[in-house]
Structure formats: structure tokens, C-alpha cells
Amino acid sequence: MEACRSRLKQRLRSMRGLRIDRTAQTVIAGHAFVQNLRRGHYEIATETPARQGVAAAFTELATAI
């Protein structure tokens, strides 16, 4: 769990904080989504090799939206 949070902290540190709560919610939700996607919690881009899974999932999501 700490390893996941350290990446988020590193990202936020470079931005020197978030000025709006909504922005923080968006960053946190996006981070959680990508982590869950990498762990295979979604049935999206399942036939793609693991290294290309996140990119393929975002392509598939962009098509759906």
C-alpha cells in the first residue's frame, strides 16, 4: 500500500499541492483506476499483453466515450 501512495505523493509534490478539492478528487480517482486496471480488476483490454494493457485500455475507453 505504501508503494502505491509514494508514487502519488511524488506526483503531487512536483505540483506543490492542489488548489481545488475537485482536482484532488480527480487525481486520486485516476490513480486508483490505473492501479486497479494494472491489477486486472476490469475486463478491459484482457487480450493485450501486460506491458501494453494500460495503453490499450485507454484506447478502448476513448472509443467508448
Supply the range of the domain harboring residue 45. 2-64
Instruction: Note the pLDDT tens digit of each residue in 13-41.
Output: 666 667 788 888 888 888 888 888 888 78
pLDDT attached to residue 20: 82
Instruction: Note the pLDDT tens digit of each residue in 35-62.
Output: 888 887 878 777 777 778 788 888 887 8
Count structural domains, the chain: 1
Exposure string (b/e) for 51-62, b if CB count within 10 Å is 16 or more?
eebeeebeeeee
- The Cα 23–Cα 18 span in angstroms is 7
